[in-house]
């Protein structure tokens, strides 16, 4: 078995991104520890890295929120060193307009990429933050996003990552058009085309998510058993809310028009999918302790990282935002054991750098009032 390639963000240039001052931050190839008090800009720097690699924020759906309140725009540019392209640095940049919804100007090596999907797939990245704990206890939307992230990278093995993103967007639009059509009248001539589009794109989404769930399941179970040492067995099952046949899905939507009109949304479809966690045969949401929930989320993130690494044959960059504070000592030790096992670049934040149990290949930074300085 050949080892995966590695990649890393060598340099971040940032300007007017939340409270971050205009500056250049040079990161190390392995562990980068950003230390500082709360409110100084540690999470903002992780967010800038995330936006520069994905064109999206993990904190807001309105990118204009990322622009400093007294600035017209914000800018984040990264220089990426990728073993798959030896000797050539990749430059990715995102400029955000502070007006309105926050329009973005995206460039890959100085040019506009053909699609945002091509840009986002260039540098695989995995985020672990306190809000990630919602994966085991929160609503299904977080788990659907996890499945989609993994599914997109799995599809990218065969050049299909961009197509899956198109499926997700076109399904969303068709669902919205059908909803509005149901509010006006029960007209089959109007509804049939929308339902067919929902079925065509929805079936591909369900199939991709099933593959993603299968790629995650074994890894999550093994990781959970190692971290939680729980007597109860963990089981994971993908719970789709649509058939994997276009004609059957179209017919189901047609049958449920009156019900969907009353409910105000389609009552079947991948927008309702979930990933079920059972502990000892019962829903983990009901029986898991807080420590077991945290162990499950850590296992999920480890599985996400491993599944993407295998699919893309490169080690994703790992961002961790103050997650150690959410873990008890035993699970904190499991977190650092997990980190030491990684071979890719890691960027993490903390208010207490002395608790970060990483000795070698480590670069430390202090973050104070939006300025990042190496120690």
pLDDT band at 1 (very low <50, low <70, confident <90, very high): very low
Q: Which of 292, 315, 338 is the last residue of a domain?
A: 315
161: Cβ contacts below 8 Å, ≥ 6 apart: 117, 121, 152, 153, 155
- Residue 17 is given by DSSP the state B
Its sign, for the CA torsion 196, 197, 200, 203, is: negative
Q: Are 140 and 269 in contact (CB under 8 A)?
A: no
In a domain, 132, yes or no: no
In a domain, 361, yes or no: yes
Q: pLDDT per residue over 131-188, tens digit each?
A: 888 999 999 999 999 999 999 999 998 877 889 989 999 999 999 999 999 999 899 9
- Global confidence as pTM: 0.90
What phi and psi values does residue 93 have, to the nearest 5 degrees? -140, 145
Both 182 and 96 in a single domain?
A: no
Percent pLDDT > 70 in the chain is 97
In a domain, 43, yes or no: yes
Both 146 and 112 in a single domain?
A: no
Q: pLDDT per residue over 297-348, tens digit each?
A: 989 999 999 999 999 999 999 999 987 666 677 777 777 887 887 789 999 9
pLDDT surpasses 70 at 278: yes
Give the chain's domain count.
2
Q: How far is C-alpha 35 from the chain's CA centre? A: 23
- By residue range, what is the domain housing residue 286? 137-315
**SS3 per residue for 201-263:** HHHHHHHHHHHHHHHHHHHHHHHHHHHHCCCCCEEEEEECCCCCCHHHHHHHHHHCHHHHHHH
In a domain, 129, yes or no: no
Both 163 and 301 in a single domain?
A: yes
What is the predicted pLDDT for the residue at 226? 83
CA gyration radius, the chain: 22
Q: Are 300 and 216 in contact (CB under 8 A)?
A: yes
Q: pLDDT per residue over 89-123, tens digit each?
A: 999 999 999 876 668 999 999 999 998 888 999 99
**CATH number of residue 26's parent domain:** 3.40.50.300
What is the predicted pLDDT for the residue at 341? 79
Q: Are 277 and 236 in contact (CB under 8 A)?
A: yes
Tokens at 95, concatenated: 């400029």
């Amino acid at each position: 078995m050949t080892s995966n390639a590695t990649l890393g963000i060598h340099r971040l240039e940032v300007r007017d991104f939340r409270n971050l001052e205009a500056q250049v931050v040079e990161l190390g190839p392995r562990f980068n520890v950003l230390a500082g008090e709360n409110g100084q800009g540690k999470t903002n720097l992780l967010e800038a890295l995330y936006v520069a690699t994905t064109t999206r924020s993990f904190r807001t759906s309105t990118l204009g929120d990322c622009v400093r309140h007294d600035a017209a725009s914000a800018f984040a540019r990264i220089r990426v060193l990728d073993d798959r392209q030896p000797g050539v640095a990749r430059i990715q940049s995102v400029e955000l307009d502070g007006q309105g919804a926050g329009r973005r100007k995206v460039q890959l090596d100085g040019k506009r990429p053909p699609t945002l999907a091509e840009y986002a797939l260039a540098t695989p990245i995995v985020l672990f933050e306190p809000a990630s704990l919602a994966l085991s206890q929160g609503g299904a939307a977080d788990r659907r996003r996890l499945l989609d992230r993994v599914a997109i990278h799995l599809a990218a093995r065969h050049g299909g990552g961009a197509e899956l993103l198109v499926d997700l967007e076109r399904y969303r639009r068709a669902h919205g058009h059908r909803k509005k059509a149901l509010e006006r009248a029960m007209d089959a001539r109007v509804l049939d085309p929308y339902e067919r589009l929902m079925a065509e794109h929805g079936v591909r989404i369900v199939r991709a998510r099933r593959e993603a769930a299968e790629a995650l399941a074994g890894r999550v179970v093994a990781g959970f058993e190692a971290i939680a040492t729980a007597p109860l067995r963990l089981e994971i099952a993908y719970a789709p809310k649509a058939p994997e046949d276009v004609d059957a899905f179209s017919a189901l939507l047609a049958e449920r028009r009156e019900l969907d009109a009353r409910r105000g949304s389609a009552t079947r479809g991948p927008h309702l999918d979930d990933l079920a966690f059972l502990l000892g045969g019962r829903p983990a949401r009901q029986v898991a302790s807080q420590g077991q929930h945290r162990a499950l989320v850590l296992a999920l993130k480890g599985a996400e990282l491993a599944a993407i690494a295998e699919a893309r044959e490169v080690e994703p960059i790992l961002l961790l935002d103050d997650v150690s504070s959410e873990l008890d000592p035993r699970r904190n030790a499991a977190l650092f054991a997990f980190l030491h096992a990684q071979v890719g670049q890691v960027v993490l934040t903390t208010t207490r750098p002395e608790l970060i149990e990483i000795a070698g290949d480590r670069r430390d930074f202090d973050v104070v009032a939006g300025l990042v300085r190496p120690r």
